[in-house]
Amino acid sequence: MNFLTDRGPMRPPEQTRINVEQHSSVAGNERIIALAGSVLLVLILAEIVIAAKMHVLMPVHIFVGVLLTFPLLVKIGSTGYRFLRYYTGSPAFVQKGPPRLEMRLLAPLLLIASLGLVGSGILLALLGPTHALSVWVLRLHALSVICWLPLLAVHVGAYIWRVPRLISADWQKRSRRLVPGWGWRYGINSVALLAGAGAAALFLPHAASWVAWEPNIAPQIPGPLLAAIFFAFLAGLGGLVILRPWRWH
């Protein structure tokens, strides 16, 4: 009697349940990426402001730098999960499709720059300012900032448009029923912040040598940070003009 309806053949209940679970997995992954990215962006903006006053805020700079490492791992892990599910042929993730080509090309560069920046910063904190290797690690850290901030500007400009919608959806009862895992998403980000704060506290003794070295730091905004901000402005503006992410579907 299918000719009496336009709905076509009905799917078995089990198949329908599996399809719903798969698509909720995609939506949940989008939401945790948006949440982790938002947490990370707040910490990064704070770190940029702190870095401008490095000559008096070195311990805070080290603390926040270590703290944001754990939210960064959540962001990398949740994005990597989408990558893995798509390339292993998960139907829902394949149907969702990959990010735009431009962003796929940008992603490995941003990942390398992020890991280089955080890794060199942590190594600097451990070595202290007087170690023979510190001067080379400091140069790598400065170069990472100059490369990383413009890439980040393009990335943020491309995706920030959808973040408010994704985060607000997790605070709507109906949406939370359709996409379970709200507690897990906020829980893992909270644990990341707590773990980051604990690790950062352990690093505070290593900041003592840098505090003693603070008089050698010029009170002006560091040159690499100024260069990075300038290039980030150009990259972000150019990315918006070329990519026009607000028109993406």
Q: Which of 155, 135, 131 has its CA nearest to residue 143?
A: 135
Look-up: residue for tokens 């790598």? 140
Q: Which band of pLDDT confidence, cut at 50, 70 and 90, is reported for residue 232?
A: confident
Q: Give tens-digit pLDDT for 61-97.
A: 999 999 999 999 999 999 999 999 999 998 989 988 8
Q: Which band of pLDDT confidence, cut at 50, 70 and 90, is reported for residue 58?
A: confident
Higher-confidence residue: 152 or 5?
Answer: 152
Q: Where are the domains of the chain?
A: 22-247
Write out the H or E segment, with its range, that includes residue 178. helix 173-178
CA–CA separation, 243 and 198 (whole Å): 39
Q: Which of 79, 82, 51, 103 has its CA nearest to residue 220?
A: 51
- Percent of the chain with pLDDT strictly greater than 90: 47
Q: Taking residues 151-179, what's their average pLDDT?
A: 89
Asked if pLDDT for residue 11 goes beyond 90, the answer is no
